[in-house]
Structure 1
Amino acid sequence: MKFVVSSTELLSHLQTVSRVISNKNTLPILDHFLFQLSGNGLTITASDLETTLVTSINLENVSEEGVVAVPAKLLTDTLKEFSDQPLTFDVNTDTKAIVINSETGKFTLPGQDGEDFPAIPTVREDKKSVLQTSTETLFSGISKTLFATADDELRAVMNGIFIELTESDVTFVATDAHKLVRYKRMDVKSDGAASFILPKKPAALLKAILAKDSNNVMVEFDDKNAFFTLTNYRMICRLVEGTYPSYASVIPANNPNRLTIDRIELYNALKRVAVFSNQASNLVKLELVGNQLTISAQDLDFSISAYERLNCIYEGDNMQIGFKSTFLIEILSNLSSSDVVLQLSDPSRAGLILPTEKEIDDEDTLMLLMPMMING
C-alpha cells in the first residue's frame, strides 16, 4: 500500500475528522484514523462509536490499494511540523508498519489492522427519510440553536437540536427549560413529515464542516442514525432516542406589552450591569415605564448595585420583570438584527425576543426566556 500526498492537504482533512475522536475511548482502535486506499482515492475515517466522520482526498500517485489504521495523535502532531511538501506513505500490509518519507527524512509509525475498526452503520431503507438542502440553511439552523441545548443527564432528549421536517418548511428547536430557540426555514421542503434529535457533539462538528462548504448537503436518517453527505465529508451519528417536549405549547400567544430597542445598546448595558448582580442568581431587573427601560442589578451580600437607563419604544403597561442576565446576554449575542423586540405578557410568563429584520426572507427566528422571581 503506497501513495503520495500533500502534507498540508492531509493535515487539513485529519484535523477536521480528528475532532470526533474522544479522549476516553473504550476501544484502543478508536485512537486511530482508518486509511482506505482504493483507486485514486484515499478515504479517512475517525469515530467514537456514537459519531463517525469520513473524508476523502483524490491522489495522483497510487501504487497499491489497502486498509490500515494509523495512530491519530502521532500522525497529526508529526504533520504539524512539516512545511507544505509531498509525503510518500509506504505501508507494509503484513506487519502494518507505516513509513513516511519526506524530502529530507524518514518516519516510522506502528499501524493496526484496519479490519478491527468498527463498521459504519447503514441507513435502513424501510425507515429512511431524506432532506436535500443548502449548507447555508443547515449551518444557520445549527448556529442559531446549538447554544440553547441542555446538559441534562435525566432528560437526554433536551441535549440536542430537534429538527422537524414538513412539506412546507424545516424547523430547528433547542431548549434547556430556561431558554428556547425556534428557527424555521420556509425555503426547504421535504416529501413528508419527519423529525429527529441531533446530539450536541455531532451538531458542533457538523457546524465546523458546513462553514467550509458551499454546495448542497444530503441528509438521510432513520430511527437510529443520521447521515450527512457533503462535498468532501460524510458524517454519521447516532440520534438521541425519545420524544421531544411539545415546544409549541410553551410559547405564549398573547403578549400585549411590546418593547423595541437597539440590540447592541441593550447587550452592552446588560454586560455592564450584570457585573453587579448576585453571583448565584445573575438576576437583572428590567423596568419599563413610558419609552424608557431601566436595567438594574444588586448583590446585597457585597453592598453593590448598578442601573442604567436606555431609550426605547414601548407599547404596553408599566411593568417590572426579572431575567437571568447570562441567558439574556447569550440570546442577544446569537441574534444579528440591529434592533430586537421583546414581547411580554406579565412578570411571571416567558418573554419572547425577536429580531426586527431578517437576514433572509424565508426565515423565522424566535427566542424565548423564562423570567425569574424579583424579591421584594
Structure 2
Amino acid sequence: MKFIVSSSVLLKQLSAINGVVATNPIVPILENFLFKVDSDREGGPILTATASDLQTTMITNIAVESSESGSIAIPARLLLDTLRGLPEQPITFHVDTETFGTQILTDNGRYKLSGENPIDFPKIPSVNRSLAVELSSDSLLSAINNTVFATSTDDLRPAMTGVYLQLTSANATFVATDGHRLIRYRRLDINSPSDSTMIVPRKALTLLKASLPEGVPVKAEFSQSNASFTFGNTQMICRLIDERFPDYENAIPVNNPNVMTIGRTDILNSLKRIMIYANRTTHQIRLSLESNSLTISAEDLDYSNEAKEKLLCDYDGDNMEIGFNAKFLTEMLGNLSCKMLSFELSAPNRAGLIIPADKEENEEILMLVMPVMLNTYA
C-alpha cells in the first residue's frame, strides 16, 4: 500500500487525536495509530486515522493521494516525533501489508519503522443513535471550561469523575462536583427533542476542549452507553459513566439572606495574594463581612505567617465570618468572565453560592462552595 500526504496536515490532524493515546496502555497495540486508506471514497482517497484507549476513541479523516486501499497500525510517538522535525512537504508512505514494515520517504530522507497488524486494533464502538443534538463548538467549549475543573479525581466515586448532562426541550444543564464545590452551568441555546440525562467522563471532555476549534457546528449523538461528538473532519466516541449522579438540586441552599456584590478581579487578585500566607495543606482563608466592607485574611500558625486585606463591596446582611479553601475559590473565580459577582450566604457552616451579576447571553451559572471550619485566631 502506498499513499502521499502533506506532512503539516498529517501532523496537525494526528496531534488533535494524540491525547487519547495512553503512555502505558492496557493493550500494547493502543500505543499505535490505526491508519486506514480508502482509495474508492467518493470525493477522493481518504486516510482515516484512529486513536483509542478502550474508553475513548478519536477518529480524523485526511485527504491523501492513493490508488490502493489498506490499513496499518503505526507507532504514535515515533511517527509524531518524526513529523515534528520535518518541514512542510509531501511525504510518501510505503506499507508492506504482509510484514507491516513501513517506510516514510521525504524530499531528502527515508525513515523505516515497524508497524503492527491492524486486526489487533480494538473495534471502533458504534453509537446506536437514540438522541442527536446540534450545537455550536463555542457553546460546548464554554460548558466544558466552566465545569470540568470541578470534577472529582476520586475513582471510588465514579459518578463524580464526569460531568452530568441534563438535556430538555428548553435547555441543557451541565453539572460537576467533587464534594467540596458544585458547578451548575446551563445553556439556553442547546435543547433536545426528548429529555435525557448522562454522565460524560472528564478525560473525554478534556480531549474535546483541546481539539475543538472555535465557531464550528458540533453534532452530538448519544446512546445508552456511548456518546459521539463530530466536528469538521474529527469524531470522538466515549463510553458514558454508568452510575447514579448525586441529587445536586437538594445541595443548593435556597434561603441566603446575606448577599455581597463585588468586582470579580478585585476579590480574585486579593485571594491570590492572601493565599500565599495560608496554611499550605488546608489553604484556609477567612472572609469577614461587614456593611460595605470585606476583610480577607489568612494565617499559617506553623510558620507564623499572616496577611490581611480590606476591600470595598456592597454587602446586605448580618456581620459574619466564614472560612473557605482559597484554592477552590480562586479556581472557580478564575473560570468566570463576569465583571461583578454576588456571594449569597446564610451561615458560616452552610454552603455559599457564587453567581455572576452580569450574565452572558444564553447562559446561567451557579457555583456552590462548601465552607471550612475556621481556626480560632482573631
TM-score by length of 2: 0.96
Q: How does 1:235-254 map to 2 (within 5 A)?
A: 235-254=236-255
Give the Cα–Cα distance (whole angstroms) in 2 for the partners of residues 110 and 280 of structure 1. 48
Give the Cα–Cα distance (whole angstroms) in 2 for the partners of residues 57 and 191 of structure 1. 33
Give the Cα–Cα distance (whole angstroms) in 1 for the partners of residues 98 and 283 of structure 2. 62
Q: Which amino acid aligns with 2:128?
A: R
Give the Cα–Cα distance (whole angstroms) in 2 for the partners of residues 36 and 226 of structure 1. 23
Q: How does 1:161-180 map to 2 (within 5 A)?
A: 161-180=163-182
Structure 2 residue runs of 5 or longer lacking an equivalent are 40-44
1:142 aligns to what?
144
Q: Does 1:91 find its partner at 2:95?
A: yes
Contact 1:252–1:350, Cα closer than 8 Å, also in 2: yes
Contact 2:151–2:162, Cα closer than 8 Å, also in 1: yes
Contact 2:340–2:357, Cα closer than 8 Å, also in 1: yes
Give the Cα–Cα distance (whole angstroms) in 1 for the partners of residues 215 and 116 of structure 2. 35
Contact 2:134–2:220, Cα closer than 8 Å, also in 1: yes
Give the Cα–Cα distance (whole angstroms) in 1 for the partners of residues 281 and 74 of structure 2. 47
Q: CA deviation at 1:375?
A: 2.8
Q: CA deviation at 1:213?
A: 4.4
Give the Cα–Cα distance (whole angstroms) in 2 for the partners of residues 205 and 105 of structure 1. 33
Q: 1:9-58 CA distances to partner (integer Å, 9 max, x unpaired)? A: 10111111111011121211111100010031110000011110000111
Q: CA deviation at 1:124?
A: 2.9
- SS of 2:15's equivalent in the other structure is helix
Q: CA deviation at 1:269?
A: 0.8
Q: Does 1:112 find its partner at 2:116?
A: yes
Q: CA deviation at 1:136?
A: 1.1
Give the Cα–Cα distance (whole angstroms) in 2 for the partners of residues 278 and 108 of structure 1. 55
Q: 1:104-155 CA distances to partner (integer Å, 9 max, x unpaired)? A: 1111111111111100111235xx2221111111111111001100011221
Q: 1:100 aligns with which of 82, 104, 108?
A: 104
Q: Does 1:41 find its partner at 2:46?
A: yes
Contact 2:17–2:211, Cα closer than 8 Å, also in 1: no
Contact 1:20–1:46, Cα closer than 8 Å, also in 2: yes
1:341 aligns to what?
342
Contact 2:228–2:238, Cα closer than 8 Å, also in 1: yes
Give the Cα–Cα distance (whole angstroms) in 1 for the partners of residues 304 and 188 of structure 2. 51
Q: Which amino acid aligns with 1:19?
A: G
Q: How does 1:1-376 map to 2 (within 5 A)?
A: 1-39=1-39, 40-59=45-64, 61-125=65-129, 128-210=130-212, 212-359=213-360, 361-376=361-376
**Percent identity over paired residues:** 46
- SS of 2:373's equivalent in the other structure is coil
Contact 2:168–2:194, Cα closer than 8 Å, also in 1: yes
Contact 1:283–1:324, Cα closer than 8 Å, also in 2: yes
Q: Which amino acid aligns with 1:164?
A: Q
Q: 1:175-199 CA distances to partner (integer Å, 9 max, x unpaired)? A: 0010110100111110111011111
Give the Cα–Cα distance (whole angstroms) in 1 for the partners of residues 255 and 328 of structure 2. 23
Give the Cα–Cα distance (whole angstroms) in 1 for the partners of residues 298 and 28 of structure 2. 51
Give the Cα–Cα distance (whole angstroms) in 2 for the partners of residues 122 and 228 of structure 1. 12
Q: CA deviation at 1:304?
A: 1.7
Give the Cα–Cα distance (whole angstroms) in 2 for the partners of residues 92 and 166 of structure 1. 51
Q: Which amino acid aligns with 1:304?
A: N
- SS of 2:145's equivalent in the other structure is helix
Q: 1:198-223 CA distances to partner (integer Å, 9 max, x unpaired)? A: 1111110011122x242211111122
Q: Which amino acid aligns with 2:167?
A: L
Contact 1:172–1:184, Cα closer than 8 Å, also in 2: yes
Q: Which amino acid aligns with 2:10?
A: L
Q: CA deviation at 1:356?
A: 1.3
Q: CA deviation at 1:231?
A: 1.0
Q: CA deviation at 1:273?
A: 1.0
Give the Cα–Cα distance (whole angstroms) in 2 for the partners of residues 153 and 44 of structure 1. 30
Contact 1:257–1:314, Cα closer than 8 Å, also in 2: yes
Q: 1:41-79 CA distances to partner (integer Å, 9 max, x unpaired)? A: 1100000111100001112x2121111111111111111
Runs of 4+ that moved beyond 3 A: none
Give the Cα–Cα distance (whole angstroms) in 2 for the partners of residues 253 and 187 of structure 1. 26
Q: CA deviation at 1:280?
A: 2.0
Give the Cα–Cα distance (whole angstroms) in 1 for the partners of residues 167 and 107 of structure 2. 52
Structure 1 residue runs of 5 or longer lacking an equivalent are none
C-alpha RMSD of the superposition: 1.1
TM-score by length of 1: 0.97
How many residue pairs get aligned? The number is 371
